[in-house]
Amino acid sequence: MIEQRTQSYLELVDRELPGYVTGLYVVGSAALGAWQPEVSDIDTVILTSRQASGDDLVALAAVHARMPESPRFDGVYLDAATASSWPSDRQVVPFVVDGEFRADTPCGELNPILWLTLRRYGIPVRGPTVADLGVRVDPEAMRRYNLDNLRDYWQSTAATCRSALVGVADDEVVDAGTVCWFVLGPPRLHYTLAEGDVISKPAAGPYLGRMFPEYAALAQRAVRWRAGETEQFTAADLLAAADIVDRLADDAWRRYGS
């Protein structure tokens, strides 16, 4: 499926913009060996021969509009000058998130985790080998990114979730994807801080269980759900997932925040 979808994209973009895409590298869950049909997106880094013009952007939007909705084909576009700096400062570049093409907003996908994943696990579909790209990862920038992400994004989101659950019965069934997102996302950031490497969402479950055994059962259920097994989650599970976020963020700042 991944090979078929990347080839379909290349055929479309080469027809619309001959010579524009010079490199295509698969990252994300597919590169980490954890891609799941019906669940995972196809995440990519796309290198281009030039900075996108207005006409290029119109053509790219048309290409992505013709891509199938599932699995979603996501990615970031980098011209040679931008790629040479491997930016992590939310520059405005063309990118696709959840299948939606965007070109006029800061790209949050540009971060040290993307470059670390590309450098260590990226799968080349077109272009030079990953080793020949000269991908650079600043360890300090990666540390700060993970710490700030845990505190500013994840803990803030967890607090909003708790507020939304006020008055909700503990046994009320909630969206499984939301619970699993909270349970399996933050452990990945903590792991990168601890090990300087990247792990998949399925691997984040056991890591969380080792860090905090009291959440091991919930982590196992989240991994099973992501693998396609039937699992039901309640408001109590979602509150526990929000607590996981705080436990991981506080631990990360205590260990790695200095």
Helix 54-65 to helix 2-16 angle (10° resolution) is 140
Residues 220, 209 contacting (CB under 8 angstroms): yes
* Least confident among 33-47, 99-113, 210-224: 33-47
The overall average pLDDT reported for the chain is 95
Region 234-256: mean pLDDT is 98
- Burial zone of 165 (CB within 10 Å; 0-12 exposed, 13-18 middle, 19+ buried): middle
Specify the 3-state DSSP secondary structure of 172: coil
Residues 186, 245 contacting (CB under 8 angstroms): yes
What integer pLDDT is reported at residue 139 of this predicted model? 93
Q: Residue 165: which region, alpha, beta or left (left: phi > 0; alpha: psi -120 to 50)?
A: alpha
Give 21's strand partners. Answer: 48
What integer pLDDT is reported at residue 38 of this predicted model? 73
pTM equals 0.92
Residues 135, 82 contacting (CB under 8 angstroms): no
What integer pLDDT is reported at residue 124 of this predicted model? 97
- Burial zone of 20 (CB within 10 Å; 0-12 exposed, 13-18 middle, 19+ buried): buried
In the predicted model, is pLDDT for residue 70 greater than 90?
A: no
Region 215-238: mean pLDDT is 96
> Percentage of the chain surpassing pLDDT 70?
100
DSSP state, residue 18 = T
Half-sphere exposure of residue 199: CA atoms within 13 angstroms, side-chain side:
21
Distance CA 20, CA 1 (A): 24
What integer pLDDT is reported at residue 222 of this predicted model? 97
Query: Parallel, antiparallel, or unpaired: how do β-strands 123-126 and 233-234 relate?
Result: unpaired
Q: What is the pLDDT of residues 8-53, one digit of tens each?
A: 999 999 999 999 999 999 999 999 998 887 778 899 999 999 999 9
